[in-house]
Structure formats: C-alpha cells, structure tokens
Amino acid sequence: MVSQIRLRSSLLMAPALAWLTALMVVPCALVLALAFFRRGIYGGIEYTFTLENFGLVFDPLYAGIFLNSARIAGTATLIAVVIGYAAAYAIAAAPRRLQPVFLFFAVLPFWSNYLIRTYAWIVLLNREGLITQLLRWLGYTGEPPSMLYTEGAVIAGLVYNYLPFVILACYAPLSRLNPELAEASRDLGASAMTTFRRVILPLTVPGIAAGAVFVFVLSIGNFVTPALLGGGRFQMIGNLVYDQFLTANDWPFGAALAMTLIAIMLLVLTAQALAADRASGRTAEAKGGADV
C-alpha cells in the first residue's frame, strides 16, 4: 500500500519536477557555477578557478544591505498578512456566490502595469500631489507632509502590490472551513476569540505561511518600488544582484551573491516548512524512519 502511494505520488510529481529540472536546475546551475571563476577585464569570464567572489560577498556592506532589505520585506510581510488575512476571512464568510467575484476584484487592479500603478501612488503622495491638494482645499496651510521617498512609502508600495497574493493564499484554506465547526465550538461554550484562536487559526496557518512567503520573496527581490517610491534611497538585495549582472557586467560576483542569497533563503524556508509540518503533528506517524 505504502509503495503504491509512493508510486502514484511520484507519477503526479513527475511532470512538474521534470519541468523544473530542465528549465531551472540545469540552466541556473550553469550560471551559478560562474561564481567560481574570475571576471574578465571587460566583463567577460576568465576560466580560472577562484573563491575570491565569495570572499567579497561577506563584506559587511552586503550583509548590511541584506539585513536592511530583509527588515523592510519583513515589515511589509507582517502588514500584508494581517490585512490580507482579514480580507480573506471576510471573503470566505461572504455568500458563496459572491466569493469568486470578490477574489476577482481583489486581483483585477493588478492586471494593469506595475509601473503605472506605482506612478499613480506618486501622483497621490508627492509633496504637490493629490493628498496635499486635498489637505490645502480643506484649509491646511502648513508644510506639506513628506510621504514619498521614505521607508514607509516603500513598505506601503510593497504591501499594496502583494496584498492580493496573501488574500488568495489565505482564502484557499479558509474557504473550506466548515461553518458547523465554528458553531460546534461555540456550542461547547468557547468564546468567539477562543474559537478563532483554537479552531480557525491553526487550520489556516498553511495559507498564512504561503502568503507570507510570497510577500517576503517578492519584496526582497523587488527594485521598481524602492527606486520610484523610495527615491532610490533604499536598496533591496534583488537590486544588488541585478546590478552585478547588468550594470557592472560582473557575472561571477553576481552569481556568488545570488548563490549565497538562495542558500540562506532556502535554509530558512525549508526549515520553517519542515518545522511547521512537524508541529502540526500530521506527519509524525508517517515520517518514522523516512528519508528526512
């Protein structure tokens, strides 16, 4: 029985894993391997083995940029998860017929282009922008508030653009919550808060985790928002990798930076995923002597 499940699951996974191997693992391995070579004087590759690129990665400058962008992305994630979860909860509680409609309207704004959405925020927030004009029209005469080109503006921009992904991710497990489950919990005398904390929240943690991962990885790799809403004053780690490959034409160092970044993030994410899995206890008995 177990071996039959293994076989069936392997068959189900095969097309996707083949796709990823052919079009991600192999090509990326070829490029990331450049990390072990030297940059040629005009930006080409000199094929002599070296570890110096990794030496450069551990300059405090890059660690600082990494930590700072992780902090900005982390803050955006936290805010997006709180708002997105609340919205997904409200959608899942709406009449069934309306739920797909709400989901559709949550993603519709994002079928316009990223750049023009960002420009729209600039129109609203800039010192001579719509919000300032509104304030003046209401009789405000002081210095216009400086809302743009701040860390807050970057975070707001990230939250805005990735909020729908959290809504979608959280909606997935929330939508199957049986209303009777909550009712049963209430009937047993649990308060609304307890029901939420003990019954609903644990069942939807996987959705929250997926949504949080989406916002975090998309934010830390983003460079349009820091450039336009942050006025280029904040650098995200994705931007740094991009600059090495394209601006500095330094593929070996770009590859070393990317490899380090990928390794750190994979470590954190897989550890978190496995821990969450173990914590849920769901796989405890199946894991046994499995190939962990």
Give alpha helix (H) positions in the chain: 2-20, 26-32, 52-57, 60-93, 99-107, 114-125, 130-137, 151-174, 179-187, 192-195, 201-220, 224-228, 237-242, 251-280, 284-287
For residue 116, the Cα-to-chain-centroid distance in whole angstroms is 21
Looking at the Cβ atoms of 36 and 214, the one nearer to other proteins is: 214
Q: Which of 46, 58, 115, 279 binds other proteins (CB under 8 A)?
A: 115
224 within 8 A of 183, measured Cβ to Cβ: no
In the complex, the smallest distance separating the C-beta of residue 253 from other proteins, rounded to whole angstroms, is: 7
Binders of other proteins in range 135-154 (CB under 8 A): 146, 148-149
Q: Tell me: does residue 109 bind other proteins (CB under 8 A).
A: yes
Q: Which of 158, 240, 256, 260 binds other proteins (CB under 8 A)?
A: 240
Q: Tell me: does residue 197 bind other proteins (CB under 8 A).
A: no
Residue 193 CA: distances (Å) to CA of 188, 205, 207: 13, 16, 20
The angle at the Cα of 118, spanning 169 to 226, to the nearest 5 degrees, equals 85
* DSSP run (H or E) holding 38: strand 38-39
Looking at the Cβ atoms of 42 and 49, the one nearer to other proteins is: 42
Binders of other proteins in range 40-69 (CB under 8 A): 41-44, 59, 61-62, 64-65, 68
Looking at the Cβ atoms of 76 and 168, the one nearer to other proteins is: 168
In the complex, the smallest distance separating the C-beta of residue 178 from other proteins, rounded to whole angstroms, is: 11
Give dist(CA 44, CA 252) in Å, integer. 9
Binders of other proteins in range 249-288 (CB under 8 A): 249-251, 253-255, 258, 261-262, 265-266, 269-271, 273-274, 280, 282-283, 286-288
Q: Per-residue string for binding with other proteins, 64-93, x by CB under 8 A?
A: xx--x--------------x--xx-xxx-x
Q: Identify which range of 29-37, 71-79, 134-142 contacts other proteins by CB under 8 A.
A: 29-37
Q: Going by C-beta distance under 8 Å and a sequence separation of 6 or more, which residues neighbour residue 151?
A: 72, 230, 234
Q: Tell me: does residue 172 bind other proteins (CB under 8 A).
A: yes
Six token digits for residue 97 = 């017929």
Q: Identify which range of 71-79, 134-142, 242-250 contacts other proteins by CB under 8 A.
A: 242-250
Q: How many residues bind other proteins (CB under 8 A)?
A: 144
Q: What is the DSSP letter of 145?
A: P
